[in-house]
Every structure is written in C-alpha cells, then in structure tokens.
Amino acid sequence: MSSQNSPSDFSWRCFEDIVCGAEAASAAASCSFSLGTLEVASNPETASFAVTERKQPEIWRWAIIGSGGFILEEGFEPTREEAKSAACDALHHVRAQMA
C-alpha cells in the first residue's frame, strides 16, 4: 500500500506506555499476535484507533479499530514502518468518511 501520510501524523505509543485502564483493555482486545510489539495510535477526531503488531519476523499486522472494538480495516506489511504508514492512510480514510 503506498502512503502519502506519515506515521508521525499520529502519536504512536507502545502498549506498555498506555496508562488508562480502559484504553489498555481496548488495545489488548484488538491484539492478535504480540502485546510485546503492539503499538497504538488514536484518532482524536473519531472513536477509532490504529494498532500495529508483529505477526512473524517479516510480517507486521495493522488494523483500524472502531467503536465497540470492531475491525474497520486490516492488513499486513513487511516492516513496522510500512504497517504504520498503511494504518495512517486508513485512519485518514476513516476520518474522511466521518466528515
């Protein structure tokens, strides 16, 4: 997936850096493979957030999670940075749909 948006468009946090119990629970519930590699970026304009995590050494999952914990979009990329870029693109797309 090609990206025009940068992973720095959103503030990414490691799972262990999430201090709010409810937010941590939502992030953990969206994790399919590895809490140790899970990173989360929130979209302040919607109730959605992005996650990236490592599935295998060269496979990184990204997903956009909507309200109620539903997966809105999901994919896999070969690197963490590419997964973050794809997630940012998807978050921007979700935000545009909500506007």
Which residues are within 8 A (CB) of 83 and not within 5 positions of it... i.e. 6 or more apart? 52, 60, 61, 62, 75, 76, 77
Q: 90 lies in a domain?
A: no
Residue-range definition of the domain harbouring residue 18: 9-82
Cα–Cα separations (whole angstroms), residue 6 to 11, 22, 23, 69: 11, 27, 23, 24
What value does the mean pLDDT of the chain take? Answer: 88
What is the percent of the chain with per-residue pLDDT over 90, rounded to a whole number? 65
Q: 29 lies in a domain?
A: yes
Q: 66 lies in a domain?
A: yes
Largest alpha-carbon pair distance within the chain? 37
pTM recorded for the entire structure: 0.85
Q: 42 lies in a domain?
A: yes
Between 30 and 20, the higher pLDDT residue: 30
Mean pLDDT confidence for 88-95: 89
> Given pLDDT bands bounded at 50, 70 and 90, which one contains residue 43?
confident
- Please tell me the predicted confidence (pLDDT) of residue 90: 93
> Given pLDDT bands bounded at 50, 70 and 90, which one contains residue 58?
very high
Which residues are within 8 A (CB) of 78 and not within 5 positions of it... i.e. 6 or more apart? 58, 59, 60
Q: 70 lies in a domain?
A: yes
Q: 37 lies in a domain?
A: yes
Q: 36 lies in a domain?
A: yes
Report the phi/psi class of residue 23: left, alpha or beta, with left for phi > 0 and alpha for psi in -120 to 50: alpha
Q: 3 lies in a domain?
A: no
Question: In the chain, how many domains are there?
Answer: 1
